[in-house]
Amino acid sequence: MDEAQLPELLEDVKEAVRAAGREVMQYQGGANEQWEKGVDDPVTKADLASDKLLRERLLGLRPECGWQSEETVDDQSRLEKEWVWVVDPLDGTKEFLEQVPEFSIAVALVHNGKPKLGVVFNPATMEMIAGAEGAGVSYMGGPARVSEERFRAAASVAVSRSEYKRGEFDEVAATMHLRPIGSVAYKLALVAAGQVDVFYTLTPRCEWDICAGVYLVKAAGGMATEKDGAEVVFNKPEGKTRSLVAANPDLHADLLEALKDTPLAPDLRA
């Protein structure tokens, strides 16, 4: 696939994601059977319905691409593909079940390990953050950029609700303006849109949680790396990244320095 085709493809992906959002919202507040994939890891009919719709739509657009999704069994055939769809059909399932409007649908397209397109859509608030190589990044239809805040003491920091409840930010709570938010993809998208200044986690994250958001942050003028500054590479066999720090370049550098001696959190889903 030619990268020059990405801006046109982006419009089709946005339509597919909106359709998945409508599918998801049909289940909220009604009969929506759920079960646990693992400890504190719910899945619902809405997750599976969104996954089915997106798989049909996205592979219909680009059938030559590989497929990596939270709700599809990974046979690792994606590792043989140059281009791969990386999808979370419903990120923030716990928030969805609690009717907290902090869940999202996230789609990225990766080329040889690097994301080239990203879409994050919150169907509860109708917020869409989207971008592709050659197309820039938009938030609610207008141009998007990361914030220009330079000082960590004044920055708003989006953090995981679960990690916050576990006390993983207790040591920095007095020195940062912490904002617990549900979906990881949504948090990263808000950084890209300049709605919050920073997102970081020292807990391992699956690629589908972060891929679209990492693309959007970087395309919107920010930085998104692991805690040690290493580039985040996608479509790895294990499908996980050990940590993530995302912000504008000034705050990103400040956070990497501040966190350099902070230990990584355990992988609770290993």
* pLDDT single digits (tens) 130-142: 999 999 999 999 9
CA distance 152 to 147: 12
Same domain, 69 and 164: no
- The verdict on residue 264 lying in a domain is no
Tens of pLDDT, residue by residue over 90-103, are 999 999 999 999 99
| Residue where a domain terminates, one of 143, 170, 186 | 143
| Residue where a domain terminates, one of 100, 119, 143 | 143
Q: Where are the alpha helices (DSSP H) in 26-177?
A: 45-61, 93-98, 161-165
User: In 3-state terms, what secondary structure has residue 182?
Assistant: coil
CATH number of 237's domain:
3.40.190.80
CATH number of 62's domain:
3.30.540.10
Residue 36: per-residue pLDDT: 53
Residue 50: per-residue pLDDT: 97
Average pLDDT over residues 15-34: 86
Same domain, 232 and 105: no
Token representation of residue 6? 């990405």
Greatest CA separation for the chain: 50
Residue range of the domain that includes 199? 152-259
Whether the CB-CB separation of 85 and 108 falls below 8 Å is answered with yes
Beta strands of the chain (E only): which ranges?
34-38, 41-44, 66-69, 83-91, 104-111, 114-122, 127-132, 136-139, 142-143, 156-160, 177-181, 198-201, 205-206, 223-225, 240-241, 244-247
At residue 165 the predicted structure's pLDDT band, cuts being 50, 70 and 90, is confident
At residue 31 the predicted structure's pLDDT band, cuts being 50, 70 and 90, is low
Same domain, 137 and 193: no
User: How far does Cα 127 stand from its chain's mean position?
Assistant: 14
Same domain, 100 and 172: no
| Nearest residue to 57 (alpha-carbon basis) of 14, 90, 22, 26 | 14
For the whole model, what pTM was predicted? 0.94
Number of domains in the chain: 2
Same domain, 135 and 157: no
Same domain, 156 and 191: yes
Same domain, 220 and 250: yes
